[in-house]
Amino acid sequence: MISGMSISINDLLITEHRIPINEHRIPINEHQTPELIKFYNLYTQLNNGFMTNQNRILSIDIMRGLTLVLMLFVNDLYMPGVPAWLGHTKASFDGMGLADWVFPGFMFMVGMSVPYSIGNRIKRGESTMRIIGHIIIRTISLLIIGVLMSNSRNVNGEFTGISKNVWSLIMYSGVFLIWNNYRRTEKNAWLITTLRLLGAAMIIPMVIIFRG
């Protein structure tokens, strides 16, 4: 039952017709009840309302943005004068603070994004091996970025030879050049490759000279 409407198994197993994404009407056949048509049209209207022209789900994008914003300052919520509910609650307290929400919120958002991301790649005709390769590359990339970011606060300027701020500036610039989402065309392919090699040339020396 959906909003008081009875939908049979035959209605839900229609395979010869697909519901258009950007239209508010669907073709009627003998298998479709008026209630099912109304439900499909309502679903399509809601889908169009929460999707951009690039078929992005705004609710996930908004949650991703809020989570990343909280990540930026969640570690700075322990200074005097900050309300207790903004930080982590003690293990003995039955409750959650805003900081306690960041990690589970991030994991929830990632879990919601994975099926859509893989589904879009399957619709584009990508092979299973290519999708697995993309997942492996993305995983390794995130691990590298995470290690670099975590150690940026531990740079010892005296033993490294440059200050912590300079080391971090060079490192983050290299990360941006390598992992930026470029719009690749036939004309700028060489430029993108050059920028990524430049980013690697910036990061590798920082890793070599790093002293904590």
Whether 101 has a pLDDT exceeding 80, the answer reads yes
Whether 49 has a pLDDT exceeding 70, the answer reads no
Q: Where are the domains of the chain?
A: 1-49, 57-126, 136-212
- Per-residue b/e over 174-189, b at no fewer than 16 CB within 10 Å? bbebbeeeeeeeeeee
107 compared with 212, residue with greater pLDDT? 107
Catalytic residues: 88
Structure tokens at 41: 């049209």
Q: What is the pLDDT of residues 53-82, one digit of tens each?
A: 456 778 888 888 888 888 777 777 776 777
Whether 42 has a pLDDT exceeding 90, the answer reads no
